Amino acid sequence: MRHGELPVYDRTDQAIRLIEEERRRIARDLHDGPAQDITNVSMRLEIIQRMLKTNPELAEAELARLNRRVVGIVNSIRRLIYDLRPVAIDEVGLIKAVTELCRRAQEEWPVSIELTVAPDVHDDFAPAKQVALYRLVQEVFQNIRKHAEASSIRMSLTRSGPELHIDIADDGKGFDPAAIPAGRYGIAGMQERTAYLGGQLRITSAPQRGSRFLFTIPVYGER
């Protein structure tokens, strides 16, 4: 092994690195999101404080605006917490968890979702794998919400032999999967975690043509 090279064939090492990267993303999301928003609120408060003497009416209006912003920040923190919460996969199973994810997404952001589950798809495989798959789906949804400007999503779970296919397509603005800017780790992490599960992720997208994420993961027939 050359100096500085990580032993990628070591699965324990890889698993630890995946967890560390995930933590780094959570830290970044907190930093870029709520932490920055609250800093901003603090700056506005200082301005309002000075305004109190010179223009109390404007100060009052500004305070009301700021209050609405704080409510928005609290909501975004709640969303972060909800997304981080462990999913009770062992109680409900992947199919129900994904169905619930779709229901919530439709409720929270303006998008219509069509989910189909083939009759031969069931979720009686290892719970840890189910959680891993749920997290992948969650991440695709987060990306659609953040970037796609989509009005609808079609998602299907189908099966061929030992493999489960998770197909998620949006009708949003699309992107070039070959030209992801530096410092973005979501899709790279998805690719890596899918490979870790012994599966494949195929992404097809083009600007203005929507995006499609197709996961193929061997989950059946190992016991």
CA distances from 36 to 39, 46, 47 (A): 5, 16, 17
CB of 127 to ligand ATP, least distance (A): 25
Q: Contact at 8 Å (CB) between 202 and 118? A: no
Spatial CA neighbour of 101 closest among 70, 79, 75: 79
Which one of 7-15, 16-24, 120-128, 141-149 is the stretch in contact with Mg ion (CB under 5 A)? 141-149
Minimum distance between the CB of residue 51 and ligand ATP, rounded to whole angstroms?
Answer: 36
Closer to Mg ion at the Cβ: 143 or 194? 143
CB of 122 to ligand ATP, least distance (A): 28
Nearer to ligand ATP, 48 or 205 (CB): 205
- Tell me whether residue 210 is exposed, middle or buried, using C-beta atoms within 10 angstroms of its C-beta: 0 to 12, 13 to 18, 19 or more: buried
Query: Which amino acid is located at 196 in the chain?
Result: Y
Least distance CB 17 / ligand ATP (angstroms): 16
- The contact set with ligand ATP (CB under 6 A) reads 25, 143-144, 146-148, 170, 172-175, 180, 184-187, 211
Instruction: Give the shortest CB-189-to-Mg ion separation in angstroms.
Output: 8
Between residues 25 and 165, which has the closer beta carbon with respect to ligand ATP? 25
Member of 33, 186, 189, 198 binding Mg ion (CB under 5 A): 186
How far is it, in rounded angstroms, from Cα 113 to Cα 106? 7
Binding of Mg ion by 143 (CB under 5 A): yes
Dihedral angle of Cα 140, 143, 149, 154, to the nearest 10 degrees: 0
Q: Which listed range, 8-16, 113-121, 150-158, 179-187, lies at the site for Mg ion (CB under 5 A)?
A: 179-187
- Contact status: 205 vs Mg ion (CB under 5 A): no
Pick the closer one to ligand ATP by CB: 194 or 211: 211
Residue placing its CB nearer to ligand ATP in the complex, 90 or 109:
109
Measured over the CA atoms of residue 84, residue 88, residue 90 and residue 95, the dihedral's sign is: negative
Return the SS3 of 200.
strand
- Give 204's contacts (C-beta < 8 A, 6+ positions apart): 177, 211, 212, 214
Q: Where does this chain bind Mg ion (CB under 5 A)?
A: 143, 186
